[in-house]
Structure 1
């Protein structure tokens, strides 16, 4: 019985940890306005709410993008899909050494609210994060 309750609680909390898809109507006006001013030419807009923030996923000229905003409409981070060969050379070398014979599935350039640039490379089911020079920072399991 005790294990059943613990399992139920674990499942309940994990449901809240997952991002929630939102309709456009559920996005605060200030968040939506900041997004539209920043990216007026975007298409395929989709919204999620995760950890109290709002994330817009969208397309510009066949490239995937994302923007994370807080509830007050402040931009926390932007992400742009890039070609794998646009990753810093040190990042590519790290991936080739650490994950030999593995293909980089996706790559992105991320800019945070302070203008700090990082890069993300998805290899297998792991996102690898690198600084602007291509130095490895951390791994995030998908």
Structure 2
């Protein structure tokens, strides 16, 4: 009887261990509506999905699809219902508006552009983000479609 009890305890314990599989935060499966919306917008692209939270109480889920566009890296941001909230495409420095480059040369002389991206929000408004490092701080400079300066934000 003791051997039977011991065997059952071991089997039960082993089955419980098998059911406590922990998925990595990187393994995100978005809702079907999000997947369908992505495939309609970016046919044939294979994304790597992640998610984060936004809103005043961090209670709104956003799904982020990072994918290779062939010449660059794209990032599409969707809400829980499959609505495209933003699309970011890494671009070369030469693709920035001339007014933005002039602003950077004048206000941040000697600073190297670390990254540049074109953003299109859910309302089809185009902006540009330019990343530079000044005084050991990473700064995102934001410009409008024509290269007019909008704001600067410090990133971690």
Please state which band the TM-score falls in when normalised by the shorter chain: 0.7 to 0.9
RMSD: 1.7
1:34-73 equivalences under 5 Å are: 34-43=37-46, 45-51=48-54, 52-73=61-82
Aligned to 1:137: 150
Residue 10 of structure 1 corresponds to none
Distance 2:44 2:152 in 1: 33
Larger Rg: 2
SS at 2:44 equivalent = coil
Shift of 1:50: 3.0
Corresponding residue number in structure 1 for 2:3: none
CA contact (8 A) 1:69 1:76 kept: yes
Q: State yes or no: 1:98 paired with 2:113.
A: no
Answer yes or no: is the 8 Å Cα contact 2:47–2:65 preserved in 1. no
Unmatched 5+ stretches in structure 1: 1-19
In the aligned structure 2, how far is the partner of 1:109 from the partner of 1:73? Answer: 21
Where structure 2 has 5 or more consecutive residues not aligned to the other structure, the ranges are 1-23, 55-60
Question: Matched residue pairs, number?
Answer: 122
Question: TM-score normalised to the size of structure 1?
Answer: 0.78
1:31 corresponds to which residue?
34
Contact 1:91/1:130 (<8 A) preserved: yes
Contact 1:21–1:49 under 8 Å retained in 2 = no
1:22 is displaced (CA, Å) by: 4.0
The verdict on how the C-alpha distance between 1:64 and 1:139 changes in structure 2, with shifts beyond 3 A counting, is same
Which residue in 1 is equivalent to 2:139? Answer: 126
